[in-house]
Each structure stands twice: as structure tokens, then as C-alpha cells.
A and B are shown apart, each in its own frame.
Chain A
Amino acid sequence: MAIKIDEVKKLTLDDYKTDVHNDWCPGCGDFGILQSVQMALFELGIPRHKAVVFSGIGCSGKTPHFINVYGIHTLHGRAVPFAIGAKLANPDLNVIVVGGDGDGLGIGVGHFVSAGRRNVGLTYIVYNNAVYGLTKGQASPTLKLGVKTKSLPKPNINDAVNPIALALVSGYTFIARAYSYDVKHLKEIIKKAVLHKGLAFIDVLQPCPTYNDINTKDWYSGKDRIDPKTGKSIPRIYKLEDTGYDPYVRSDDPDELNSKFVQVVEKSLEWGDKIPVGIFYINEHISSYEERISSVISDYLSNPPARQRIALKNGMTNVKLERLLREFSI
């Protein structure tokens, strides 16, 4: 959406931070996401009152309290519908939703899928660490089958969902993955996501230093894989943009869309030795929900619910019901 930079007072990055004590574990991947969101909002010049961060429950749910914009810490799994309600009531708001993998892909997966059908203009960041941290490390929906992280009594007997592929088939029109320790890269993706007109999804690989002893920072950076030639570790993570990958759907030709779908699913299946990050998919040919509402309510964008007056100066309703009552008149 259009952001009027000239509305912004001279703000510094610190203006986007609160002084609330952050009680995440030392070394938590969440810090990188928090920083990236703060930096993205600052660099985009979004006035603080025009941004709202919604969150679910869990460690990630505390994020809004650390960001000095409107912050709404909602229910477990329900951040997306809360955010959609606010965004549709006032489409001028820049809305970012943050939540854990259990929040978005477990208890809230119905909303995750349904949000894709609507393509409301907001950014949804999932903190993906494969465990439920705040409840002491149970398996989350992104933990792979057979993996035993340290708090699990037995290896995981559920298979993992594929967040990228699920977002794709659900209808998200901007799909990306990032790594929480690469703040600069994540920040740039968030900025693009916020500027995207429809629904953007960012799957952030975010090591939980306390409960996930498998997908650790060292594991992602390949500390267990030393290149015999150089003696350096071979990182598992690589950037799609470095490979010439093109995330854009360039036309509304169904053949192009189909081949893009195949390409995204293929990339989403890579895991283990090679883990792609970056933007997987951008499709600007799908109408946003706001545009769809505008086809019914033509002045929706200029006169959305939040801007409408509902009373006359004397405090009585300003609605004129004559036309609608005609249907019932005798």
C-alpha cells in the first residue's frame, strides 16, 4: 500500500522500541525477528500510529509489547482473524501478524488456510522453531517425523506440515522464508511483504536454543559439515536470489502460474543439506480482499467502516432507512 513518507516526523529506530523488559531466553531466534520488524517499520517510514502488530500466544506472542506501535496480543491461533477484522475496518492500517508455528499451523491452521482465500493486505510472520517453547518443548506442527528434540519422551510420530507449500495452495500471494539470524535479509523481505498489496507470508527459521537441540544455529550454519578443502563449515541455508530464482508470476497466463506452482513446491521440499531462503513466490494478479469489497461497496477504500460517521450532531442516528423500509411497508 502507499505510504506517505512526508507524514513522518523524524523518527529514529529507537522510537520503534519499547522499554518493556524482554524475557526471551538468551540467544533466542525471536530477537532477530523483533529487530527485523522494528527496522522494517522504521526504514519504510511508517508512522507509529499507522502500524499494528498482532500476535498469538507463546514466546512469539510477546513481540508486540517490545515494539512501539499499536500492539495487540490476541488468543492462541487467532491472531490472523483479529488482524483481518481490524484491517478491513480500517484499510489504512499497516498490519503485521506474528505468531509461532504451533499458533499458525497447529491450533490456528484453519485461519491460516482461510486467510489465503481472502488475500487481505497484511503480512504474516511465522516463527518456525518446530517446538512449543513456552510449554516446555513439545513437538510443533513443523517438527519432522521421527525427530526427537530434547524434551520429547519419544521421537515425533507426527509428520510435519510444509508451511511454504500450504501457503501456496491456500492462496497467499507473497511467500517467503528467512532465517532469524540474518536480520538484514529478513528485514528486506518484511519490507517487501509490507508493501505487497495482498496477503504475505514469511516462514522464519528461528532456532529455539532451549528446547530444539536438533535445528540449532550451529546446525543451520553447518558446523557439523566441514569442507575438507577449506576447513570451513558448509552452511545449510542458501539464498534463492543467489541462484537466479524468479519468484514473480509475470502474467495471468494459467500455464505460467502452473509452472510457478511446481517450482515453489519443489523448492519448498528442499530440507536437510540445502535449505532455501528468500522470496519463493509473488503474484500480483490476484485481487485483494479490499478490492473485492470495493466491487460491492464502491467507496469502501475512501470511506471504510472506521471512517464512517454514524450519528448526527444531536447524537441521533444518521441513517435514513426509508428506502430499506419500503420493502416492508404495507
Chain B
Amino acid sequence: MKINQLSWMIGGPQGSGVDSGANIFSRACAYGGLHVFGKREYHSNIKGEHSNYVVRVDSKPIRSHLDEIDFLVTFDPETLFRHVHKVVPGGVIIYDVNQEGITVDKIPTIDKQANRRIKSFLSENGVGYSVKDVIEYASRNGILTYGIPYVKLLEGLAEELGDPRIARMDVMINVMAVASSFALLQYDFAPIERAINYVFKAKEKVAKLNIEAAKYVYKYVLENFERTSYKLEPVSKSEDGRIIIQGYQASALGKIAGGCRFQSYYPITPASDESVYLEDNAVFEIIGENGELEKGSIVVVQTEDEIAAIAMAIGAGLAGVRASTATSGPGFSLMAEGLGWAGMNEVPVVVTLYQRGGPSTGLPTRHSQEDLLFAVYAGHGEFPRIVYASGDVEEVFYDVAKVFNFAERYQTPVIHLIDKGMANSIMTVKKFDLSKVKIDRGELVETFVDGVYKRFKFTETGVSPRVKLGTENVVFWNTGDEHDELGHITEDHEVRTMMVDKRMKKLELALQEIDDEDKALFYGDDDADYVVLSWGSTKGVILDAMDMLKKDGYKLKFVQVKLLHPFPSDRVSELIGDARFLIDIEHNKTAQFGSIVKREILRDIDYYILKYNGRPMSLSEVYMALKLIFENKANKIQVLNNGD
């Protein structure tokens, strides 16, 4: 019996409730005190294309997904055809018994490449192309298959509740599929009911009906099917008051907590979820000067394009407001000129860059880490900027306040790198602790009394005291042209050199001042010969793989670099220590991070584990790739390609 250890997948056409089904499943598990990590895959499409959600559940914290599936929960044949090969022996498939006759060729959303791949897998295993054939094959391989008569169950429910309309409510099939899997896992119904109520909180009637449907199916499955070898059991909840949250929500909450009071954005996947969340929660509670509750708010503006988005954020920044914009690759491309203006005029502004597959439109809804070098170099000419990457959902929250602190302290644009994988991952994490959120506004001068105010005054550190537009007794000028201390245009060759030096000096200051823990983090065995170097959302899968490798007796250390520009070479070199082998793990073709590391620490990288097919690395493949390195069987470059 496998208790509280599960890799669960639900799939279906977009618009059929895959997302809400997975949400209900994840929350119900989390309500029972279990740890959850969920990964969402979807097409750039509104309705009809295949989407799926993998949820891993465990009694200990987990941070990555597995390729292997214990429970495949389906209500359409496409999900079955696409994922059957990943179900483990002893695993479970839930499917619609009424669809047994449907064949691979009958499904238009299975494109040619996938059609060929699925059919060649089936024929290699001597299996026909229908649902029935596939189910029989699965059974032969020790997979437990459960045909659920969704339509008949709806009819039964309609009769029981005396409402014939319910018989046609196939929108509830997603919840019925989730309920079936919970019954097979012998999980309590109470947390399921609570999760359904949560997901449909805006529609009480819908929630009620879905609960009825779930109950009905739950009972039916308990009565009619044998048990599986999997079980989920509620565990006692920890003291830390856990939350379940997605990356984009953590970023949005980080902005509210971190003092961001203006956000501009243009709709783009996967970045706009954050802005929409902020718009929806524009008014929040703050603690007033005398300790009483007051109202705080954030102005969110949907702009006509990303050029306007960064321009407005900079304008708000000039008015002394912590301001940001959130975007993805194509939008960030349009922001390059604005970014340079902010660098030139030393305006604090934060760009939250949700990376996705590029170039051009690329893979709009798929994962990647391809924009690191672009973030470091975007814009013409030379100007200071800070590029910062968070490793997981929890880090995102705390890092947002930090990136605003950097932006204000060094009066420069900051690019906060997130990615699609993280944006759409759902995770159980410790409740966010606001007492850890510090606000540092740098040299922001609230009142100015006498003398001539020089916005770009030459100083030892390169940082000049900043005032907000509207500050009394002051005026200042900004220009994208090279300028003097007052901010007026100059083409003088001496002032030019001094101004460039002044601006760029701020990066040296940043490297001196930023805490070591904020530059790069270290995990694992200090004296290990092998060191994994990585950045961003690969953190979770690397840590999980390290745990597995440790059990195999392999020693590994992991250096997670968060400050990517200016690059903390000393800190990274120190953390690497005398490890003999360097392994770079990242989600792009050209090892962008590796190229920075090589240049900055003057050492070659021994092994690369790269992936650029638009899907986050799975624990299964990272573990295998690292194991090959330890066994001295690995090529210098291993390209991972698992996906679905």
C-alpha cells in the first residue's frame, strides 16, 4: 500500500474544467495537511485543445513533478491516448466507459506528430487504436482501469434530485472524475466538499450541485469498484499555517506587501494573471501610523501596449511611487527603449518578466528560461540594471520587496525573472510572514530646504539623493540625452565620462551591499566534488533530485544564483569552493547562465543539463541525468525532452 505518495494527472479539452478539477484536488489534499505540488500545461487556445495538470501529493514537502503517473484521471479519450504510457504498473486509470469505441484518428486535436507518436507506441506494443484496446493493454500491464459511466451517473443524479436538467450537465464531469479518484484513494469527503465550495465560491448554486454530483459519484465508486493500492490519509496539520498558492499570486501579493502602488500592463500570457489579480484586489489593509487599520490601494492600468506600460510605470516612479509592470518576452522586447531611459535617468522601476518559450511568439503558454541574457543586455548603450531570479513560489513573494528595495536604493531598473512554470505552479508553502518584509527606499529625500537641487549630483557612490515630482522648493529635469548634474542636455566629452562612470558605479555599490544570501544560496554537501549551478525555477527539481541521489549515496552541492546582474562572482566562486565538476542546469538551448558563469568565475563547465521543449524538467529526468554524470556515463551536454 502506497500511502500519501502520489503522482496524479487530470487532463481534458481546454474549457472543460481541467484547471478547476485540479484545483479542487490540490486543495482537498492540502486541507488534509498533505503537501502538494501542481504543474499546469495548456495550449494557446480558448477551447478544445488538450490541457493537463499533474499534481504530486506527499506527506513531506515536494517541489517538482514526476513523469510517472500513479493516477490518470480522464473524461476524454485524448488524455488517455496521450498519457497512458506514463502510468506505472499498479497505477490507476479512470476513463469514460461510453467512449470505448473512439480511436486515435477520430480526435482532431491530436495533431499529426502526436498521432504518429501515439500510434507507433501502440503498435510497438501490439495494441489497437481504440480506447477499448488501450484500456485492455493497460489492464494487461497491471494497471487498474475504472470505466466511469459519467452520463449514466448524471442521469441517476438527475433522478435522485428530481431535476431532469441535471442529466445534461456534463460541465460537472470534471468534478465527478476528481470525486472518483478520491473514492479510489479512500480519502475523506469533507475536505473535498470544502475544496469544491472554495473553487465555486462565487456561485453558490453551482457549488451545491457539484457537491451533490461529487457525493453521488464518490458513493457509486465506493460501492462498485475494488480498492487500489494507493491511499491518501489526512495528516495532522503543521503549526506554520500553510497556504496553497500559485507563483503569479505570490508575486502579486509580494507587490502589495512590498509597497508597489502602481502597476501597468498589457495583456500577455503568462504574465497578465498577476495584474488581473492586483486589479481584483486593488484595495487592501495597512497599519496606520497609530496602529489602526487603514486602507491602502494600488492603481492598475491596462495600457495600449508594453511601450506605454513601461513608460507609465516610469512616470509613476518619477512621482515617487513604487511602480512596476509585468510582461513576457514579446512585451519585454518592446520595453527595451523605456528600460534604457529609466537607466539613463536613474528611475527605480521593476519589470516582472515571466519567461516563456521564444523567440517571437514562440510557445506562448509553455515554460522556458530563455530571456536571461536578453534581460541582462536589453536596451541600447550602457546603463546599470539589476537582474534578479527567484527559485520558487515562496521566494517570489519575499523577493518582490527586495527587488523594489534594490530599484530604489540603486535608482535603477530591476528585472525580476520568473517563468511560466513557476507562474502556474501551485504549491503548499509556509504562510507568508510579513515581519520579514523590509522596505528600504534608499536616498529618497522627502523635504528639501535650501541650495540648488541637483538630481544627478556627482557623489562617491554614484547615488544622488532623489526627490519625488511635486516636492516643494525643488524642480529637476530628466532627459534621455546625456545630461549634466541638473539634468540638462550636454554633449561635453568630460561630463559624459563622469556621468557614465557615476551611473555604472552603482552596480559596484550593489555588489558590495547586497547580502550574500540574496546573491546566491547553497544547498547540500559542502565537500562534494560535484556542484550543480542553476538559477530560477529549476531549484525545486534540483533539490528533490539531490534528496534522491543522497539516498543512492551520491554527494552533491547546489549553488542557486539569484542575483544575475551584476554577477556576484566572488560569492559564487566561494560557494563552489574546490568542487571538481561543475554542472549547469537550465531551460534553454545555449546555456545562457553557464556562459555568464564561465566568464565571471573563469572556470569551464563540465556538464550541461538543458531543456528547451517548453516543459519544465521533471524530477525523473533530472535525477537520471545527474545519475549518469555520477556514473561517469554522461555526455558533456544532456538535452532533456520529456513532456506531454
Interface residues of A (CB under 8 A from B): 18, 20, 47-50, 52, 54, 57, 62, 64-65, 68-75, 78, 81-90, 92-93, 110-111, 113-114, 293, 296-297, 299-300, 303-306, 308-313, 315-325, 328-330
Contacts and interface: CB of A to CB of B under 8 A. Distances in A.
Contact of A319 (B257, B303, B441): B257
B268 interface: no
A65 B486 CA distance: 10
A72 B318 contact: yes
Nearest to A71: B477
B432 interface: yes
A325 B253 contact: yes
B45 interface: no
A93 B470 contact: yes
Contact of B476 (A70, A293, A306): A70
Interface string B598-623: 00000000000000000000000000
Given A90-B470, A303-B295, A321 B435 contact: no
B582 to A, nearest CB: 38
Contacts of B287: 312, 318-320
Contact of A320 (B286, B315, B468): B286
A70 B475 contact: yes
Contacts of A296: 282-283
20 contacts: A62-B489, A64-B479, A65-B477, A70-B476, A70-B477, A73-B489, A74-B341, A75-B341, A78-B307, A78-B311, A81-B312, A82-B314, A85-B313, A89-B319, A89-B320, A114-B308, A304-B299, A305-B323, A308-B296, A316-B434
Main secondary structure of the interface of B (DSSP, over half): mixed
B312 A319 contact: no
Given A69-B475, A71-B478, 14 more contacts: A71-B476, A82-B312, A88-B316, A92-B470, A114-B308, A297-B282, A309-B286, A310-B296, A315-B438, A317-B434, A320-B286, A321-B253, A328-B245, A330-B30
Interface string B76-110: 00000000000000000000000000000000000
Nearest to B261: A305
Interface string B481-510: 100000111000000000000000000000
Interface stretch (B236-244, B542-550, B558-566, B569-577): B236-244
Contacts of A48: 475
A82 B439 contact: no
Given A83-B315, A89-B323, A114-B303, A328 B243 contact: yes
B141 interface: no
A237 to B, nearest CB: 33
B437 interface: yes
A89 B315 contact: yes
B311 A114 contact: no
B472 interface: yes
Contact of B472 (A49, A89, A311, A320): A49
Contacts of A110: 304-305, 308
Contacts of A305: 261-262, 297-299, 316, 319, 321, 323
A85 B323 contact: yes
B243 A330 contact: yes
Contacts of B434: 316-317, 319-321
Contact of A85 (B312, B432, B472): B312
Contact of B259 (A86, A304, A310): A310
B595 interface: no
A86 B320 CA distance: 9
Given A297-B297, A297-B299, A317-B439, A82 B315 contact: yes
A84 B315 contact: yes
A88 B282 CA distance: 14
Interface residues of B, number: 85
Nearest to A65: B488
B322 interface: yes
B471 interface: yes
Interface string B272-312: 00000000011111111100010111110101110111011
Nearest to A320: B285
A316 B437 contact: yes
Contacts of A317: 257-259, 401, 434, 437-439
Contact of A70 (B30, B237, B282, B469): B469
A87 B323 CA distance: 13
Interface string B379-414: 000000000000000000000010000000000000
Given A52-B469, A75-B338, A316 B439 contact: yes
Given A81-B308, A82-B314, A315-B438, A324 B281 contact: yes
Contacts of A20: 488
B431 interface: yes
Contact of B440 (A85, A300, A315): A315
B264 interface: yes
Q: Pick the most buried of A50, A78, A299, A325: most chain B CB atoms within 10 A of its CB.
A: A78
Closest 3 CB pairs of A and B: A85-B315, A310-B259, A85-B312
B480 interface: yes
A68 B308 contact: no
A93 B477 contact: no
A300 B337 contact: no
B341 to A, nearest CB: 6
Contacts of B258: 317
Nearest to A7: B472
A81 B303 contact: yes
B405 to A, nearest CB: 10
Contacts of A72: 315, 318, 469, 477-479
Interface string B408-442: 00000000000000000000100110110111110
A49 B471 CA distance: 6
A299 to B, nearest CB: 6
A54 B323 CA distance: 18
B476 A308 contact: no
Nearest to B471: A49
Interface string B431-472: 110110111110000000000000000000000000011111
B474 interface: yes
Interface string B227-262: 000000000010001111100010001001111011
